[in-house]
Chains A and B, each alone.
Chain A
């Protein structure tokens, strides 16, 4: 894989691009620092016109990630681009993994710095638990997912339905604000994704192992190389490693942090107090910087450089170097492998789980350098995910197909799956699935003037009913019922309908007729039927259970009298 393939790899991991009609999307959502990376492809190259929302840290740090990526790629410009190998007949003869590449013709060149700015200027910033209305019919909120600064889970709800998207989430205590579970409860559908990529390792013990390996290497006079991203777990690595080195009496060992955006990410980490864990937050109240790396920086133990060329002047070995890119295809990390790879005293420690480390090292072989693999993935493990699901109890669960069977490498671990008790629906790349959400009710508002005219009738204990004839006003997808305008009452389609119900007591009916002056009445009653005859007016009334038929001559005045008497025997709505 060449460096250019790197961003495409990301695209394939994210399911965003696989909807054919992306230009028609009305809303897009960005989740966390790393999943925002392909956003410029969507905003700049697909005709996507919708709104994009994310949290402030996601916007700022995501932008820095993009800038780092683009800077790295632009440092090694390519004059030639070859695409003929992508043809199906050639492709099938190529070795793995190229042979299995998914749709390589859709692979794109990386975006530019201009694209990043244009893309980011369209993003709207949201805070945790901020309610954002989408066309009046939906509300979107995000709540902390505890994975990284500003990372969040998304909740889309209407008045009666709720869908949650659980993305990169962590229940561990690191630097970000802890996961907020309460908003995820009682949802109709939960879509679960981004579980740990290293289900067999525990991030806590890996961080310990990382520190020990680094310290041992330093003690033996070697250097430590850590390929990393410029934010996220890297902050925790600074904190843990410096503490561990102190306890080993290695406080003088310098830590170098080299990235085109190292200054920005360290500066930003200081100002996101609202998005940090309580213990980090309380430091800001003192006022002290929330992360210990601020102090390391001012003491000169941690040194940041935006360019490898700036390092030369005061580069002291043995040391620990944190630099990108963890794929080992771009960035300053390549220079350090070349520099230190020949000595077995040095160690390269992989902590990012995103790339298979042996493949990453492939082109650099043979290497004398010691290689350690301590993947630190703080996202939910299967057992943590099952525990979370048990707590939030969604009606329906949607997960990627791969979560339903144990990973191929460890088929003997049946616990590494999502609990089948919730009978999850599954999806795979490219699927379009329909979520099992059935809407039954919508919210409508009744104008108080209209409400004042309504007179509900109690038809059963605890149940009252009234008929409503009103003007329906729809604005911003909000429905309001207002009193009818006088002209509407005359308009053609309006036919106010009255509902009558009840059983007729023929005796009462006859009495009422008498009151109207109709006294010449013959009543014949049987079990299920009554016939009332008014011989004077040549009128016949048939009363049955649930229906009445009045047959009369042309004299309207009599008919109206009978009608009114009959209606008095019935209830009206």
Chain B
């Protein structure tokens, strides 16, 4: 019996700072290495001292896997690899490898340059860290070392998001990262095959929600934006540079074109523009529809959406602005929010999840007066709308994924504890499998049981098939295999005689001959016939025959009768040790049915 142990350093009954340690088949892996948006102190990063109190992590970890580029999944990576110390391989997909350093650099700038923090990772560290990254392609089986292999599946959530199947020998697990089971305007849906892992580690952001159709949400969103600008209001949509921003841009772009609107739409310069380039170059990671039409028209070349300039904040008249970051915790979106919040005409649409502690979270909770750094207060009069556009699987989607890959155990991360409980019960009821939800720092051990692989000689296997007279194996009929399992360094299942010969063992040939004296007159042949009938009647399942020399064979047991006509006859029963059961049974029959002469 072997086991898999899992310890979340982050994302255990929480959203943010995803970092899960896994030991499988003697290999140690770190799944994601994220930061927490809600904290500005030590709690921002996972507590790596859990792995080792001192020294570098390299010798304690076989590899690190990053599921996608969101900072709560990769934000602590340079800290971990450069400041704590890790030189082993880091795996992520090509788009993640491309976009991740940009977001890290952006994060660093906000933290160090704007907030003036010291003791933070530098640009140089991000670069050295990214040099340790190995890019993976979807479905490519990567051999991390001789035993550990990983394979990425499409996860939908954002550009380049992947789920990872990790296998050591027969033990395997799937880590989903964040995923989305419904295709949206720019990305496809997550997919996995029936890989039957021992464990599925799944996110559970929307563990209790079953969301109405995407179409409704989109219509709702467009209507709200349209109503607001028609009344001369300004709409602020705080987004993260990559992901929802592109989906909403496509949505607004097509709506504007259809409705023939000319109210300006802006997106913040720099990041978002650059982001669109990534989408253009990584088209193969987007949705089917975009892939099919990109030659004629690249969906990420927008006609109506123009770059934003800071001075436009003061512009009169209606407009729609996409600004980063998405949780209103810093940067341009916060700046725009400060200016626009006091007007009732305006509107802010929060298209995604906001971590507790951020301005976005407070706004969503209906705070009317919000402190924005250094005792600066802002009155919130504008309309606040929450639209769940963040691409996470809902309860239905999570259940669907479980039924696709058929895991033997499920472990929930990246969600709130109370919601996890609900989903946990549901999973246990519906699938009858174990479900875990460890908190940060809590270790779960999962026992796994597997068949033992053995080499079988083809001769033996083919003989078993032919014995049954089956050309085509019939899966409904059980076949019985008799072989010798030889352990000589490896395990081999071979024909028993062959195995004994190979090992130089000679079988001992043990034979029995029992003589019965029967008091019966008449020719010996008559007695033979009588015994023949006895055998036939009592042992219907054996092959019974009379040979030309007058001997009876019951399967491999021989019976010979001899004696003169008038004398008692002697009956010789001969069998070998292999037929002991049959031989002794035959003896008992003869002894009870025939008149035996005793001395």
Contacts and interface: CB of A to CB of B under 8 A. Distances in A.
A550 B511 contact: yes
Interface in B562-599: 577-578, 580, 584, 587-588, 591, 596
B26 interface: no
Contacts of A548: 508-511
Interface residues of A, number: 89
Nearest to A57: B284
Nearest to B555: A495
B140 A130 contact: yes
A270 interface: yes
A430 interface: no
A484 B479 CA distance: 10
A131 to B, nearest CB: 5
A45 to B, nearest CB: 27
Contacts of A127: 137-140
Interface in A519-573: 546-554, 556, 559-560, 563, 566, 570, 573
B449 interface: yes
A274 B282 CA distance: 9
Contacts of B269: none
Contact of A493 (B97, B278, B480, B484): B480
Nearest to B291: A271
Contacts of B468: 493
Contacts of A24: none
A451 B141 contact: no
Contacts, number: 240
Nearest to A497: B578
Contact of B464 (A284, A459, A472, A559): A472
Interface string A481-492: 100110010011
B29 interface: no
Interface stretch (B76-84, B333-341, B431-439, B495-503): B495-503
Contacts of A493: 467-468, 480
Interface stretch (B347-355, B404-412, B454-462): B454-462
Contacts of B464: 472
Interface stretch (A238-246, A365-373, A463-471): A463-471
Nearest to B486: A465
Given A500-B577, A554-B596, A444 B478 contact: no
Nearest to B541: A492
A465 B475 CA distance: 29
Contacts of B483: 467-468
Most buried by A among B277, B295, B449: B295
Contacts of B137: 127-129, 274
Contact of B580 (A160, A288, A462, A563): A563
A500 B507 contact: yes
Nearest to A554: B516
Nearest to B573: A554
B479 A273 contact: no
Contact of A469 (B278, B456, B482, B510): B482
B210 interface: no
A501 B577 CA distance: 12
Contact of A556 (B274, B541, B584): B584
Contacts of A300: none
Interface stretch (A107-115, A312-320, A348-356, A435-443): A435-443
A447 interface: yes
Contacts of B504: 460
Nearest to A289: B281
Contacts of A550: 510-513
A504 B506 CA distance: 13
B511 A549 contact: yes
Interface string B497-533: 0011001111111111111110000000000000000
Given A493-B467, A499-B496, A500-B577, A444 B295 contact: no
Contacts of A128: 137, 140
B509 A499 contact: no
B485 interface: yes
Given A274-B94, A459-B503, A500-B510, A444 B454 contact: yes
A200 interface: no
Interface string B474-493: 01001111111111110011
Contacts of A270: 280-281
Contact of B508 (A130, A471, A497, A502): A502
A354 to B, nearest CB: 26
Contacts of B496: 467, 497, 499, 573
A545 to B, nearest CB: 9
Interface residues of B, number: 78
Contacts of B453: 443-446
B485 A56 contact: no
Contacts of A410: none
Given A130-B141, A271-B294, A448-B451, A546 B456 contact: no
Nearest to B571: A554
B281 A500 contact: no
Interface in A336-367: none
Contact of A563 (B455, B475, B488, B512): B512
A466 B454 contact: no
Contacts of A573: 484, 496
B444 interface: no
Give the secondary structure class of B's interface: mixed
B375 interface: no
Given A497-B496, A554-B591, A466 B484 contact: yes
B125 interface: no
A55 to B, nearest CB: 10
A494 B485 contact: no
A508 B517 CA distance: 32
A348 to B, nearest CB: 30
B506 A501 contact: yes
A471 B468 CA distance: 13
A272 interface: yes
Contact of B488 (A439, A462, A553): A462
B500 A501 contact: yes
Contact of B486 (A463, A499, A500, A556): A463
Nearest to A470: B481
Contact of B478 (A281, A464, A468, A485): A485
Interface string B411-441: 0000000000000000000000000000000
A287 B281 contact: yes
B478 A473 contact: yes
Contacts of B479: 471-472, 474
Contacts of A248: none
A556 B585 CA distance: 10
A478 B370 CA distance: 64
Given A446-B454, A468-B481, A56 B508 contact: no
B452 interface: yes
A502 B508 CA distance: 7
B512 A559 contact: yes
B485 A466 contact: yes
A263 B296 CA distance: 8
B112 interface: no
B551 to A, nearest CB: 17
Nearest first, the 4 closest Cβ-Cβ pairs linking A and B are: A445-B451, A547-B509, A444-B456, A130-B139
30 contacts: A129-B141, A130-B141, A131-B141, A160-B455, A267-B294, A271-B281, A271-B283, A285-B98, A440-B457, A454-B485, A463-B486, A463-B487, A468-B484, A470-B480, A474-B473, A479-B456, A480-B451, A492-B541, A497-B578, A499-B507, A501-B500, A501-B507, A547-B508, A547-B510, A548-B509, A549-B510, A552-B513, A554-B514, A554-B517, A559-B514
Given A126-B139, A128-B140, 4 more contacts: A264-B295, A468-B483, A548-B508, A551-B514
